[in-house]
Structure 1
Amino acid sequence: MFQLKVSTQTWPIAGSFRIAHGSVHEIHVVRAEINDGRLTGYGECRPYPRYNETPISVTDQILAISKQIETGLTTDELQSLMPAGAARNAVDCALWDLRAKQTKIPVWQLLNLPKPRPRITAFTLSINTPKRMAEAALKAKQYPILKLKIDGLDGLHSCLAVLEVRPDVRLIIDANEALSPEELIQFRAALSSAPVLMIEQPLKADSFDLIDNSENALPILCADESLHTRSDLPELWGAGYRAVNVKLDKCGGLTEALALMRAAKSMGFSVMSGCMVGTSLAMAPMLMLESFADIIDMDGPLLLAKDVPNKLQYNGAVVNPPTPKLWG
């Protein structure tokens, strides 16, 4: 018999964090712990209101399958038992962590993947005035890739202000669904020759027929809110997206994230390993899949005022793989 424990934790953000969907000063996470009587596997998720999730609803989802977990649920069985989302992510990651501890084999080896390497991570600047975002970019001079959050066409001024003070930087522009089709055209025209890697989720998640999908349109577009699982990929490609942001909380855990990344790469998408704001425990599983990622965006813990024990180690812009004491 296995024992399941579900808890909610609150973590303060260093300052505040503002995106087009709103501002937050703290985050609420749900942690799943699965114990076999000797060892415990851990998984953490962040319920996200944009996807109609709350700590209570996610906790209830996990507790609803407690009997299956306690009698020995596998990660494969979990995929059909729960829908993609934060709840399944917490359980899936806890099961993988427990299996690694039981077998004394790292998760990356269990998945037959290359050993995770240290990688450069993007660093996120939340929405502010152009002046403040330029100042923040200068303070973040150790990061060669910056993700700029914007909430409309005014964000173009912030992008240009950052590029003026950081001509060395490469940018990811993250609109979080805040642009209109007309504004997207203006953004692309203004930034077509700028060092912009991609524009992330410019339009509403269900706006698939409003994008200029010509092969030469730059910067390329990256799907975030529009992407959850493998089944979304064909429609995204047809709509003109050429990159995808894979997050554990959206796709429902490490198991689906691996399958999703493989499918995306086979179709020709660029892949970004992304995250919600969260602790190192929430980031660790995704770092097992770094070999599939063209871009790593694993700065979640850097935006918090404090972190878990045995946290991820960041050397400047480089995030190191997790130690076994943290996860996996």
Structure 2
Amino acid sequence: MTKLWQAPLKLSAYIEKRPLTQAFHITGYTFTESEVLVVCLQDGELVGRGEGLGVYYRHDTPTSMLKQIEALRERIELGVTHEQLQELLPPGGARNALDCALWDLDAKRQGSPVWQLAGMPAPQPLLTTFTLSADEPEAMAESARQLSDARALKLKLTNDHRNAERVRAVRAARPGAWMMVDANQGFTRDSLQEALPAFVEAGVAVVEQPFPVGCENWLDGLNSPIPLAADESVQDHRDLQNLVGRVQVINIKLDKCGGLTEALTMARMARDLGFKVMVGNMGGSSWSMAPAFVLGSLCAVVDLDGPVYVLTDRTPGVSYQDGRIWCPDGVWGGPVMAAA
């Protein structure tokens, strides 16, 4: 992992847009397409690929990410290690795309899959959540019924007073599904306390990011009967200590923390601090899910459903069966070239 390859690399980076199957709503945002930055690193006939979406609420967009990459083109093409990337770029989508492209290239150069290079166990299919866009309660219930293969559901909630209705409606539609809810910073202490009894009654297993970033002190003394997860409040490993005793689950996303290298470090640190670990995604194609799938072996909760919501995915791509995601080495990170 630390070896610096001397042969000059050829860098290419470009933006792709993939329409979503339908508009996707969360607190304060509506998405209609998945816009990504693709980074390719070529060494002779070998090509490593990475994909990043950035972090929309931090104004980290594919356009700004592309500028970051192009500013470092000469340095990158001279050869770079994963450790050097941590110094060259801040956490975010640009470093994620570049770090993952380098991992993919490493696999081709060394003839071993990324999971093996990272010291991870051989991958197995992972139970993943499938996400329901915030909507009217009956519309969310219908979406849950349509996701008949899903065994775990993640409900996007909003900052209005109908969240208990949404949870009850989905539970009635899918009585046997594992369920978590995600407020995307939309609750106050009062609105969360108001909704919690309905969440408990419906068997909600995790409440993700209830409060706005900067209001982590609202978590103090909350004594929630349901485990709480941090998402927007934790970007990389430097944010972990501030959440000890406040949440029980840490949601790691490669676009937030800046790549698989940091994600693996962060997951191990989080577990040492007593947190359960979750791997999430900002959307995207199978090239975004595949590196996160490697991390999934360390995680208690997996949320890797991004390709389900885009009209067209990569070929080959990840597959979903019986509520689980499976990512063959040939999609990304394997010793053999994947299709473009």
Report the TM-score, using the length of structure 2 for normalisation.
0.93
1:128 to 126, 135, 142: 135
Q: In 1, Cα distance between the equivalents of 2:221 and 2:178?
A: 23
1:137 to 144, 149, 155: 144
Q: In 2, Cα distance between the equivalents of 1:67 and 1:275?
A: 30
Matched AA of 2:225: L
1:42 is the counterpart of 2:62: no
1:309 to 315, 322, 325: 315
Q: Calculate percent identity across the aligned residue pairs.
A: 38
Map of 1:7 onto structure 2: 14
Map of 1:146 onto structure 2: 153
Preserved CA contact (<8 Å) 2:46 2:105: yes
1:162 is the counterpart of 2:162: no
1:289 to 281, 292, 295: 295
The number of equivalent residue pairs is 326
Q: Deviation at 1:125?
A: 0.4
Report the TM-score, using the length of structure 1 for normalisation.
0.96
Moved more, 161-170 or 81-90: 161-170
1:201 is the counterpart of 2:206: no
Map of 2:235 onto structure 1: 228
Preserved CA contact (<8 Å) 2:304 2:325: yes
Moved more, 187-196 or 197-206: 187-196
Q: Deviation at 1:212?
A: 4.5
Moved more, 89-98 or 191-200: 191-200
Map of 1:237 onto structure 2: 244
Preserved CA contact (<8 Å) 2:151 2:322: no
Preserved CA contact (<8 Å) 1:247 1:257: yes
Query: Over residues 31-68 of structure 1, what are the superposed CA-to-partner deviations in whole Å (9 max), with x where a residue is unaligned?
Result: 00011122110000013321112222100111122122
Q: Deviation at 1:187?
A: 2.1
Q: In 1, Cα distance between the equivalents of 2:312 and 2:173?
A: 30
Map of 2:338 onto structure 1: none
Preserved CA contact (<8 Å) 1:116 1:289: no
Preserved CA contact (<8 Å) 2:267 2:277: yes
Q: Deviation at 1:290?
A: 1.9
Preserved CA contact (<8 Å) 1:117 1:290: no
Q: In 2, Cα distance between the equivalents of 1:169 and 1:249?
A: 28
- Which secondary structure does the structure 2 equivalent of 1:87 belong to? helix
Map of 2:278 onto structure 1: 272
Show structure 1 runs of 5+ residues with no match: none
Map of 1:80 onto structure 2: 87
Q: Calculate the aligned-residue CA RMSD, in Å.
A: 1.3
Map of 1:30 onto structure 2: 37
Q: Deviation at 1:219?
A: 1.1
- Which secondary structure does the structure 2 equivalent of 1:147 belong to? strand
Q: Deviation at 1:325?
A: 4.3
1:192 is the counterpart of 2:200: yes
Q: Deviation at 1:141?
A: 2.5
Q: Deviation at 1:127?
A: 0.9
Q: Deviation at 1:308?
A: 1.0
Preserved CA contact (<8 Å) 1:86 1:249: yes
Matched AA of 2:195: F
Q: Deviation at 1:217?
A: 2.3
Map of 2:3 onto structure 1: none
1:319 is the counterpart of 2:313: no
Query: Over residues 231-266 of structure 1, what are the superposed CA-to-partner deviations in whole Å (9 max), with x where a residue is unaligned?
Result: 11111124x111011100000000000001001111
1:172 is the counterpart of 2:180: yes
Q: In 2, Cα distance between the equivalents of 1:157 and 1:63?
A: 48
Show structure 2 runs of 5+ residues with no match: 1-7, 335-340
Q: In 2, Cα distance between the equivalents of 1:148 and 1:241?
A: 19
Matched AA of 2:146: K
Map of 1:112 onto structure 2: 119
Preserved CA contact (<8 Å) 2:9 2:41: yes
